[in-house]
Amino acid sequence: NKCWLYYPDYENDSELCFDEVDLKVTFVSEKQEDHYTQRRFELTNLLTGEARPIIHWSDFDWPDHGAPSSPEPFLQLLCDVRHCGAFDSRFGAPILHCSAGIGRSGTFVLVDSILKMLAHTDNPNDISLIEVLAHIRTQRHGLIQTAEQLRFSYMAIVAGLKELDEMEQSEDLFDESDFDGSTESENEDDTKLSTSLENINYELKKRAELRKNNSHSLQTTNDAETSLRLRDERLKRNEGIKKKIDEMKAKLDEKPSSLPSSLFNNNNSSILTILMTKYRRHFFIGLIALVTGSVFLYKFVRINDRTH
């Protein structure tokens, strides 16, 4: 299984708690159809106590990277989802997923979108499945993974169109012979559909490159002048910073002048002048040695005086 069980299974646990987000999902009921299952849950906010119903459908007759053998069960699922108001904006957007989120989910989105467009247009011949798919792929990369899924999309649209015909559409919008699902020319059809997918990918790449080139060409003269002005300001700031650093280095190399000038005399060898130069360390060492030697000399003289 590619998807972890994220809803409660009545055979095991009737509810699941997600403490990280303070939510609880409670199993309510389940209705088993021939090709899919409808479940009802209750989603509860553990902090506020607010609860709302959730309707969940799962299609178990759709192989990964493949397509159902017939579009009728899929269209029945689509009708049930619509009938329950899942696409009503008052109840929020529906959540649709499969394994990768582009193959089976993409087929569902494409078929539903085309059927919706056909039901609300006076010019059905202006609707192009390839153009719609190319547009949707700009929002979800890689939608419709295989030629088989693309062929199934055509078949489901043709089959769904029959139901639309009874309500508001004419009967000759599509030539069903092109998408009758027969296997006589299956390899040839696969080649054509694969080519269609490749053409869509190529067209999307061309559009992306065109948008990129246009974004570069949109740079106006004012933008260029602004860039030059900002560059000059940046260079001036760098020069000012460099100048300040040089001044600070020069001050560090100079003799400190924080003491009053009256303490200094004109003799460069005065004690205070020596103390404020780089030779002050040697001066202090010599001074300490002189004092220490004087003390030893004084003691030596005193000892000699006592012995005599």
Does the domain at 64-216 match CATH 3.90.190.10? Answer given as yes
Is residue 304's pLDDT more than 90? no
pTM of the model: 0.53
Give the pLDDT confidence score for residue 274 in this predicted structure: 53
> Which residues are annotated as catalytic?
98
Q: How far apart are CA 216 and CA 183, in angstroms?
A: 49
Residue matched to tokens 């569902």: 108
- pLDDT of 290 above 80: yes
For residues 285 and 274, the answer to whether their CB atoms sit within 8 Å is no
| pLDDT tops 90 at residue 1 | no
Q: Give the H or E element holding residue 152.
A: helix 147-167
The pLDDT-based confidence of 160 (bands split at 50, 70, 90) is confident
| 15: alpha, beta or left? (left if phi > 0; alpha if psi -120 to 50) | beta
Return the closest-CA partner of residue 104 out of 152, 34, 72: 152
- Tokens 């940046």: give the residue: 234
The closest of 131, 176, 132 to 154, measured between CA atoms, is: 176
Q: How far apart are CA 184 and CA 156, in angstroms?
A: 19
Residue 224: the pLDDT is 58
Cα angle, residue 151 at apex, residues 87 and 86 outer, rounded to 5°: 10
User: At residue 96, does pLDDT exceed 60?
Assistant: yes
Count other C-beta atoms under 10 Å from residue 45's C-beta.
13
Name the pLDDT band for 201 (thresholds 50, 70, 90). Answer: low
Residue 223 has pLDDT above 70, yes or no: no
Report residue 24: phi and psi, to 5°. -130, 135
With cut-offs at 50, 70 and 90, classify the pLDDT of residue 291. confident
pLDDT in the model for residue 136: 86
